[in-house]
Amino acid sequence: MKHGKKYIESLKAIDRSKLYDPAEGLNVVVASGKAKFDETVEAHIRLGVDPRHADQQVRGAVVLPNGTGKVVRVLVFAKGDKAREAQEAGADFVGDDDLVKKIQTENWFGFDVCVATPDMMGTVGRIARILGPKGLMPNPKSGTVTMDITKAINDIKAGKVEYRVDKTSIVHVPIGKVSFGTEKLLENLNTLMDAVIKAKPTAAKGTYIKSLVVATTMGPGVKFNGQKFN
């Protein structure tokens, strides 16, 4: 793979043989953000689990103290009073069968997160095969299937992120923007790591945090000492 001059320049400032302590590592990550836009900073956590087994799944959600720096568009599937509550709480889209039809027929995805009241899950289930692969299917574990619509919307807008181990045993989660600076990114990273560690399955054996790499959208990955969080 060919990389641009800025990437190569950033790579020279990274000691590839070193496992950085969190604060020092984030200083390096922030310095590597050389794009003309405010790059997202993302954590990639390799876990000591086998996601092929149901008892070793790692999934949940956490509100980052400093948010993600991204404007999140929230779609809510609800009816009646709950639909009105969603609108008052600041949901970007609220509906039921009409939104299901729009997604089905127009392949519309003008939103980032889906929330649904429990009574709407039968309706939402009709588009599970469309929402699921995109990570948009409402789920009780992530707090997106709930009767407390206001709290769900407020948490999402405030910087709630979902984490879920993929089939390669890695969790990929955004922890903010380069413009946040080291201190705010460190607070977000600590909050995320605490949540992931608390979600450790009882069936997981051996080292749980295998590795941790943090990178900007366009920059090289920086290896962190994941054991600092255990």
* CB neighbour list of residue 48: distance below 8 Å, 6 or more residues apart: 169, 204, 205, 206, 207, 208, 209, 210
pLDDT value for 81: 97
Predicted TM-score (pTM) of the model is 0.82
Give the CA diameter of the chain.
58
User: Which residues lie closer than 8 Å to 226 by C-beta, 6 or more apart?
Assistant: 19, 45, 209, 210, 211, 212
Predicted confidence (pLDDT) per residue in 80-137, tens digit: 999 999 999 999 999 999 999 999 999 999 999 999 999 999 999 999 999 999 989 9
Distance CA 150, CA 52 (A): 35
Q: Which residue has the tokens 């405030």?
A: 158
pLDDT tens for each residue of 17-44: 899 999 999 999 999 888 899 999 999 9
pLDDT on residue 163 = 93
Q: Are 143 and 61 contacting, i.e. CB atoms less than 8 angstroms apart? A: yes
pLDDT of residue 2: 60
Tokens representing residue 199 in the block: 């979600």
Q: Give the H/E segment covering residue 102.
A: helix 97-106
